[in-house]
Amino acid sequence: MKRFIKKILTYIIIWQSKIVIFKYKPKVIAITGSVGKTSTKEAIFSIISASKTVRMSQKSFYNEIGLPLTILGCYDGGEDPFMWIGTIIHGLSLIFWKHKYPEFLILEVGLRLPGDIKNKVSNWLRPDIVMVTSLPNCPTHIEFFNSQEELEDEKISLVRALKKGGLLILNHDDPRVYSLHLKSESRTVSFGINEGSTYQILYLIENYFDNESQKPEIGLNFKVKYEGNTFPVHLNNILGLHNAGIVTSALACTKELGFDLLESIKIINNFKTPPGRLSRLEGIKDSIIIDDSYNSSPLAQDVALNVLKEMKASRKIAVLGDMLELGKHTEEEHLVVGKNVSLMADKIILVGQRAKIIADGAIQNNFSKKDIVYFNEAVQAGDYLAKEIREGDLILVKGSQKMRMEKAVEKIMLDKDNKKELLCRQNKEWE
């Protein structure tokens, strides 16, 4: 019965959303890919919101229920029938009366199961712009698909849903992504380091915190080449070279929408990545935390470990939780992480059953067993760290969402009073 009611509610709010978009004609930007969707959404929002009305999808509003709720400007009613009645009434109000409606909608389109995009989103949503961030060899959620190709086909279905005359924005540095222009008749622009990118990243330099100088000079410096001209970009307190791609994709999107590139760069210079995405936090005992606890995947692990490698510290500690939803690739990918982290950390703290495979990979690479510690839960790892941290330590914390690695960060962060602003998953639904 519940499933039937949910199906009816979904049908109603999708129907309302289609009419609302037709009536108010906002520019619809849809972002998909295996990593980087949320940060890209936030970067685009930061530019557009400076001068225009814009709405972006919140939290996990990326599916056949969340997307219509974003379009209608409503919250998930959960099990509360009165909230759903209110949502439907609000949708009817938008349809039959004139409201002030956003000029732009930024929608993050994700998936977990087969059909989440092809059968539940791209069959009704017609974006003006589709951006694809990445399609790595082993993305999350692959355990639910028969093959990599099947998962990619889900993502591609959104490209096929582009409105006639729409724009496709692709990551030129990802061959799987860039090849999508061959499967689409839509106008395409690209971003990336590779030669031939419409918006090319040049002279990329990453500055890290240096414990020796005691000067926390964190940031990215690079230039964007567009139509033969170069534009300097500086991002303060941003870790991870991949963020240059995220910011450049936002600049590409807004430029193609008619925004002034120089003005957009001025705005994006102050961009802050969402909590838990390679955030630098002050830790107890004068330590530094790299908080990358939002989620994890093989590609995201590579990015985080590279940051750990490049930053200077008297001792480096990697706190790693399970990578979930990797299916048959689970053992292989955890072993790879173990081998990589063994070259970059002085101590490894593991959370979860799958993370024990990381230890196997590290030990195979001659990492000392005595410097590896196991815990079942992130809180336990945090309690252990709080006792073991030394002055000058650099601690990387990372794991899949369900591992709740932010709980370990909370135990060792200095500014606990502002944890709701500094940490991910601080809303009621995660309590």
Task: CATH number of the domain at 65, please.
Answer: 3.40.1190.10
Has residue 274 been placed in a domain?
no
Helices (H), 206-291: 242-256, 261-268
Last residue of a domain, one of 268, 301, 329: 268
Mark whether 180 and 58 lie in a shared domain.
Answer: yes
Has residue 36 been placed in a domain?
yes
Sign of CA dihedral 136, 141, 147, 152: negative
Range of the domain at 233: 2-268
Has residue 27 been placed in a domain?
yes
Sign of CA dihedral 413, 415, 416, 421: negative
Has residue 295 been placed in a domain?
yes
Residue 65: how many CB atoms within 10 A of its CB? 18
Mark whether 201 and 289 lie in a shared domain.
Answer: no
Last residue of a domain, one of 217, 240, 268: 268
Mark whether 239 and 295 lie in a shared domain.
Answer: no
Q: Domain count for the chain, please give it.
A: 2
pLDDT of residue 66: 86
Last residue of a domain, one of 268, 296, 322: 268
Mark whether 328 and 380 lie in a shared domain.
Answer: yes
Has residue 247 been placed in a domain?
yes
Burial class (CB in 10 A: 0-12, 13-18, 19+), 233: buried
Strands 315-321 and 347-351: parallel
Residues in the chain predicted with pLDDT less than 50, given as ranges, are: 210-213
What is the rounded CA–CA span in Å between residue 250 and residue 268?
Answer: 9
Has residue 273 been placed in a domain?
no
Mark whether 297 and 407 lie in a shared domain.
Answer: yes
Mark whether 318 and 375 lie in a shared domain.
Answer: yes
Mark whether 306 and 375 lie in a shared domain.
Answer: yes
Mark whether 46 and 134 lie in a shared domain.
Answer: yes
Mark whether 284 and 406 lie in a shared domain.
Answer: yes
pLDDT of residue 146: 63
Nearest in space to 192 (alpha carbons), one of 241, 239, 238, 156: 241
Mark whether 8 and 116 lie in a shared domain.
Answer: yes
Has residue 369 been placed in a domain?
yes
- The domain that holds 373 is classified in CATH as 3.90.190.20
Has residue 286 been placed in a domain?
yes
The secondary element (H helix, E strand) that includes residue 192 is strand 187-192
pLDDT of residue 103: 98
pLDDT of residue 143: 60
Mark whether 316 and 347 lie in a shared domain.
Answer: yes
Mark whether 260 and 283 lie in a shared domain.
Answer: no
